[in-house]
Every structure is written in C-alpha cells, then in structure tokens.
Structure 1
Amino acid sequence: MVPLKSNQTVMGGEEEEREASGPPEKRKPKEEAEESESEKEIEEEGKGMRIPLHRWVMHGAVMFGREFCYAMETALVTPVLLQIGLPEQYYSLTWFLSPILGLLFHPLIGSASDRCTLRWGRRRPFILALCVGVLLGVALFLNGSLIGLSIGDSPSSQPIGIVLTVLGVVVLDFCADASEGPIRAYLLDVADTEEQDMALNIHAFSAGLGGAVGYMLGGLDWTGTALGQAFKSQEQVLFLFAASSSLSLSHCTCSVSLNDLSRHPISLKSQKVGSLPASCLSGPLATCHLYLM
C-alpha cells in the first residue's frame, strides 16, 4: 500500500503542475491557414523567378579567362624557356614547383574562403585576388626576358630573365589551380539545385572555349600585324590579350554577375515568414535560397 500512496502523490503533483501552468496554448486555425498560404506564395514566387541566363554567362566568364591564360602558357612555355636559355634538365622543375605549393596552400585558401566574413562575400575576394595573381604570372612569364635585359642581362646570358620567367610560370599555375575551388564553391553558393546543371554546363563551355581561343591566338604570328608593330614582339601582343581578358572577365564574375552572401541556406518551413529578414525576400538570390542573417 505504501508504494501506491507514493505513486498517487506523484500523480497528484503532476496534476497540480499542469493546473498551475495552465492549458497549452492553441493556435487558431485561421492563423495557421494564413501562415501556410503566405509560405506557399513565397515558395511559388521563388520557383517562378529564375536567375537570367546572361547572369550565369557572366558568372562563368572567369573560367574563360582562366583557361585562356592556361592554354597560352601551355603552348608557349617551352619556346620561351628555350629562347632565354634555360637548361633542359630544369624544365621538369618548372612544372614541379606549382603542384607542391598547391598541396600545401590550396586547403588553407579553401578554409579561409569558407570563414571569410567580408561584406563582399566569401568567394569573390579570393577569386579576384587569384585572378590578379594569374595576371602577374602571365606578365612575368611573357615579359621576363625583356625585364631581365632592362635590368642587366645580356642576350647571351639571361639569368635574371630565366628566374623571372620560371617564377611567372609557377605563380600562374598556382593561382589558376587555386582559383578553381572558390569558383566552384561560388557557383554552389548561388545556384539552386535545379539550376546547378545549367550553371556547370556554362562553366564547362566557357572553360573549353577559353582554352580553344588561347591555343589559337598563341599559335598565330602577330609580328607582321598592326599589333605586332605597335608592341614590338609576339609575347607583348599575347600579354595584351591575356591581360584584357583576365581583367574584364574577372570583373564580370566578381562585380556584376551574382551577389555572394556568406550565409547558410534555410528552408521556408523552418522559419516563420514574419521572422525572415527583408533582405531574404529581395535581390537576385531570392530566386535561389533564403538566407539567415
């Protein structure tokens, strides 16, 4: 009988607590219906509005510039190194340095991009910085011999030109390889699941087109043209093409394509519509995700 009394006491205490706390609040059916209707309207609006195709083209423009510089380097690195007199046993060392640096620093760049809190976004600052690095590498790679001759090299011996050219190749390779991670992450940050296939196809097409144009322009003889007469050498003409494409296309991607917000996507069902910030319901990214401030 004693356990029975203790059980009764416990049950009685629970009943008293329920009475003191009062009955659970019940939401009115009308309020629930209004919230569900507003959620459906916003979901339908997000599905109906799509990011325009020209914005995806600008978003993938940086891949064109990246592969353009890559193709030009691949086509010209051997003739340039032969021209300045680099010994053959050091050719493999030129290609060996960039992967080693990438193995050490690419994970650090990706981690820093994930944790970036700049107002410009997580990815675009790194994309722009690496594009500037690509441009610097192209400048050293194509003009290392001229810079060395202006500093103190002689046509028969160009040690400064060799160092600058090899440094340009390493910087170009490293920055071009490192930029692929932020570019892909930038795409996934702004693309909805249904739009990722189209965005990836545009990126692949831009990369292939940039490589084809880079090989084509690198294989043409520009010395007899007006550009060749104005810039005095084949390498300077190609640097003009590389610099203009890299700067303009990286500007398209980083400035006028899509906003990159360092926020995490959330579902409409996990938040009340009234509690979402106004910035979540406007702007180009409203068609892709709603973001938590």
Structure 2
Amino acid sequence: MVDKLYEYTGFLGWFHEQRDIFREKISLQESEQDASVSQDDFTDIYRKKTRRELMRISMAVMGIEFSYAAETAFVSPTLLKIGVEHQHMTLVWALSPLIGFFLTPILGSLSDRCPSKFGRRRPFIVLLSLGVLMGLILVPNGETLGFALGDTPSSLNITTYKDSAHRTSAKKEYTSNNSINNSTDAYSLGKHPWGIFFTVLGTMLLDFDADACQSPARAYLLDVTIPDDHAKGLSTFTIMAGLGGSMGYAMGGFNWDATTIGILLGGHVRAVFTIITILFIVCVTCTITSFKEIPLHQLEISDQTNDDESNNLHLNDENKSFFEKSEVSYGSLVDDSKNETLEAKKPTEEERNTTLLRAGSIAPPPSHATLTTYLRSIIFMPTSLLKLCLTNLFCWMAHVSYSLYFTDFVGEAVFEGVPTAAENSAERIRYEDGVRFGCWGMAMYSLSCACYSTVIENFIRKFGAKRVYVIGLLIYSTGMFLMAITKHKIGVIIFSWTAGVLYSTLFTMPFLLVAHYHSKGVFETNSEGEEKVIGHVRGLGTDLAIVSSMVFLAQFILSLTMGTIVSITKTTTAVVSVASFLAFCGAISARSVLYLDL
C-alpha cells in the first residue's frame, strides 16, 4: 500500500502516510493514559498515613531547610567580606521578598487550578526546586565568577593568586610577594561588582524559591492526606524542617577546611553548598515520587458526583458516619455529645466539601468564579485570615531578624570580630570563628524545632491552640531578650533553643488553622460567637500561599530597617533585641485570632 502510494504520489504521499501512522500511535497512547487515570481510584490517598509515609511526603521541606541553612549562615558574611556595607547588605534581603510577596499568592492560585495530569502541586514543587538549585550553584561561586570576569583581588599590590582552602567566603586566596600587614588600613577590599552581582542573584533565586516552594509542598501534604492526619502531617512537616535545618547548620559549623573533602571541593563554603545541593535533590525526589495527586479534572468530577449523590441521598456508610460528626478533629478534644444525625435534606456547602476532604482533598475553588471575583476575594479577605496574617507577619519578622543576621551578630557582638579586617588578622579570625559558632547555635534552634514539633500536637489537644500559640511566642521573646543581655557563648547555645519553639509554632499553627477553616467552611463568627458557614471562592493553596507570603513582607520590612537600626545603635545586638520585641507583638496579636473549636 505504501509502495503503491509512493509510486503514484511520490515522496510527499509516503511522508503523509507516515505522519498519519505516527498521529494514530500518539492518539492511542494518550487515550490509554486517560483511561488509566480515569480508572485510578487513588485509594492510597483515602487512607490514614503512617509516620514514615508522612516523613517521605515532607522530605521536600527538609531539603528546603538544608538550603535555607546554608543561605542564612553564609550570605551575609560573604557579602560583608567582599566590601558590601551593613546598610547595603541588609537591602539585598529585600529584593526577593519584594517579588515573592506579590508572586507567591498568584502561584498558589495557579496551583489550585493547575490542569496537569501529574497533579496540582508537584509541578510547582519541581519548578521552584530548579530555582533553588540555581541559587545553590551561584551563591558559593559568585566571587569566583566575578574574578573570571575581571574583578580585582582583595589587595592593592597583589600579583598572583593560588588555591586556598582556608577562606570562609571564597575559594581563591589572592596573595602578594610581600607580606600583607595585619592592619585594616594596609588592606584593600578590591572591586567586586561581578562577584556581588552573581552572589546577589543567587541569593534572590535561593531565597525566593526556597520560601515559595514551601506553600505547594505544604498544600501537597494536605491534599494527599485525610483530615484526621492533618495535625500529625503538619507536625511531621515541621519535624522534617527542623531536622533539615539542624543538619544544615551543623554542616556550616563543622570546619571543612581541615578535611580532605573540603580541600577537594575548594574550601569551607563550597563544600557545604555542594553537599547540601546533593541532599536537596534527593529530598525533593523522595517527595514528588511518594503519592500521586488527584488531577484537577478528576476532582471536579468527584465534586459533581458528590453533589448528585447528595441530592439522591445515596451516601455510603463511611460518609454517613462522617457527616454524623459535627466537626473534624485537628488535635483538639472532640465532644461526642455534639454529634448530630444526618437529616434527609440536601447537604450544605460545608458538608459537600467535607466529603471531598474525607476522600483526601479539599474541594477546588469554583470554576465559574471570574478572575475579578477571585482577586477581590484575596484582597478583601475574611477578618479571620487578616488577623492570622498579621500574627504570622510579626512571627516571621521576629524569626527573620534572628535567622538572617544571627551569625553576623555572633561574629561581631559575641566574638568581637571584624568581617572587613585583613585576611589572617586577629579580628578576621575571631569573626570567622564566630560565624562557625553561630552555625552551631542555629543548629540547636533547628534541633529544638524538631523536638518541640513532636509534642506540639499533644499540647494543642491538652491546652488548646490559643495557649500553645501565645505561649510559644512569649518563650521566644524571653529567650532573645536574655541573649541580648548576656552576649555570651553559652547564651548563644542555650537561648537559641527558644527560636526552635517559635519556628515550630509559626510552621504549624497558621496552616493548621487555615486547613481547619476550609474543612468547616467557616471563616467568621457572628456577634454571639456562632459559626457562619460560607461558600469558598479561594482555594486552599491560595490561602496557604497568602499566609506564607508574610515571610516575604517580613523580610522586606526588616531589610529596609535593620541596617539603619544597626548603624544607629552601633551594635549587632540590636538584631536579637528587635526579634524579642516583635515576638511579643506577635503574642498580643495571636490572642485575637479565630480558633473555632481548636
């Protein structure tokens, strides 16, 4: 047949024949994939998860915290060493949050409506992870790239350079034939425009993508677990974050310059970033291969099916028993006396959403909502979300003040070092020792975060969410206040443990509350304290992203002000003092948050 076609129509006819055959094969493969997806019942999503499964789902945040640990520990000292002043260095941290504050809610909205056959969240996790990888490559190599493009070395009379494994911020040590005077006056920082550019670019990519990736990672956890697992899942999520951070900071505290690995990889910072890059790839891979998501079109079909079944009152036994409960437990005590039987009537919007939640997914936002309505729902959010965002803003400002500038505080205020002092001078050595010691302090805070996260669910059940939220913030405020007063090595280790309490609190409580609001369809109460069930326009991913975006706003505000505060007070002790004050403000704000029955 093909030979005949070629004989009558020549090569063009044969080409069209082959094209049609290829199209038929592709069409057949697509139909088989669609059939496979449509026949998939996603039974793994409908069941309770073990702790090990929750850990695998949360591995991505462990990798993110590895990356975040390297960034917060070394970016500020690196910029200071290549000549960026304190006031300008803090402004660097304002660049990514300026973008992230506006872009993160949009990404959350897009993930709610993502039509990918791989699910709604995993494509965004992969996309943002690629940005993190770019940042992990650029930050430790920024100075080296700058020298390759013509930056001048760090001394006026330098003629040659050689490899060195003893620099904390760079991989090359430029040396002179003459000895360099230990005094700062005889030492020139050189010019590093390209080095600064690449380091700042890497910082922006790493900072924005690491923070933004947490929202789809957290939404993925909530999507593939049932409501009864949400509190346990979020606490596991925080435990993994704490473990990742503690191991990441511990890597920074270890002196890689004295090891063969450090020498082979080109110095302390490059060794840390290289190892963390490998671990990050492994962690993200574990998460995205853990559980497949229900695609959006399947969720919409399930949504319609639940409506039809509800109208005909054909609910299975599991859904009946679930509807008989008036509430879903998120680690709070449930009063069984409040349970009511299902009446023979069409279920409310809350009940319809609860059915989907039981199946492992919160209902997607209505497809008929216009873009204008959707954006207005974000800007004019319910009062409960507004108060939660304000509290989360204070919490993140308190934490960011500690995490971004802590190693610099230890190096200058505790060890009395000078970041811009000459290489191998006593002041510079003290500063670098302080930076490494500060990494151990931050490792303690991440470790305490992991430890506290194992019990926070029990605390919520026993004492209530409000007390856990407020007291957690007050503990951190007290710890930072005592650290500012003592300015001692022991205080750095001991009081850093209180930072873990804060991090676990802000990593768990706001998102537990948001999931609880969506599960009940309740975002406000009337004057008598009765819950008002309302339809949803925003999706869960959007609200999680809005609450998460407070980290960008917090970082932006601190970036604009912290350099000025340090310049006015002439001490980096202001860093932990401001953290203490902001945490206290957060505790006051947390008292007015809507907790419903948590």
Q: Is TM (by shorter chain) over 0.5?
A: yes
Matched, 1:181 2:181: no
Counterpart in the other structure of 1:112: 110
| One-letter identity of the residue aligned with 2:119 | G
> Once the two structures are superposed, what CA deviation does each residue of 1:208-253 show, in whole Å capped at 9, x if it has no partner?
1111111111122101101112112112101112211111100001
1:262 & 1:125 partners in 2: Cα distance?
Answer: 12
Counterpart in the other structure of 1:31: none
| One-letter identity of the residue aligned with 1:104 | F
Counterpart in the other structure of 1:122: 120
1:188 & 1:195 partners in 2: Cα distance?
Answer: 8
SS at match of 1:223: helix
| 1:135–1:242 CA contact under 8 A, matched in 2 | no
Counterpart in the other structure of 2:55: 57
1:240 & 1:104 partners in 2: Cα distance?
Answer: 31
Counterpart in the other structure of 1:261: 294
| One-letter identity of the residue aligned with 1:221 | N
Which of residues 272, 276, 289 in structure 1 aligns to 2:359? 289
2:262 & 2:232 partners in 1: Cα distance?
Answer: 39
1:177 & 1:47 partners in 2: Cα distance?
Answer: 26
CA distance 1:47–1:84, change in 2 (3 Å): closer
Query: How much has 1:89 moved relative to structure 2?
Result: 2.6
Counterpart in the other structure of 2:354: none
| One-letter identity of the residue aligned with 1:262 | P
- What runs of 5+ residues in structure 1 fail to find an aligned partner? 1-41, 275-286
| 2:45–2:226 CA contact under 8 A, matched in 1 | no
Counterpart in the other structure of 1:211: 245
| One-letter identity of the residue aligned with 2:219 | A
* 1:1-293 map, 5 Å: 49-155=47-153, 156-254=190-288, 256-263=289-296, 264=299, 270=310, 289=359
| One-letter identity of the residue aligned with 2:132 | V
Alignment RMSD, CA only?
2.9
| One-letter identity of the residue aligned with 2:124 | F
CA distance 1:82–1:46, change in 2 (3 Å): closer
SS at match of 1:154: coil
| 1:121–1:262 CA contact under 8 A, matched in 2 | yes
* Greater RCO structure (CA 8 Å; 6+ sep): 1
| 2:132–2:206 CA contact under 8 A, matched in 1 | yes
More helix by share: 1
| 2:143–2:196 CA contact under 8 A, matched in 1 | yes
1:48 & 1:251 partners in 2: Cα distance?
Answer: 23
| One-letter identity of the residue aligned with 1:226 | T
2:224 & 2:89 partners in 1: Cα distance?
Answer: 41
- What runs of 5+ residues in structure 2 fail to find an aligned partner? 1-40, 154-189, 317-356, 364-598
Q: Could you say which structure has the larger radius of gyration?
A: 1
Q: Sequence identity, in percent?
A: 36
| 1:120–1:260 CA contact under 8 A, matched in 2 | yes
Query: How much has 1:48 moved relative to structure 2?
Result: 9.9
| 1:56–1:257 CA contact under 8 A, matched in 2 | no
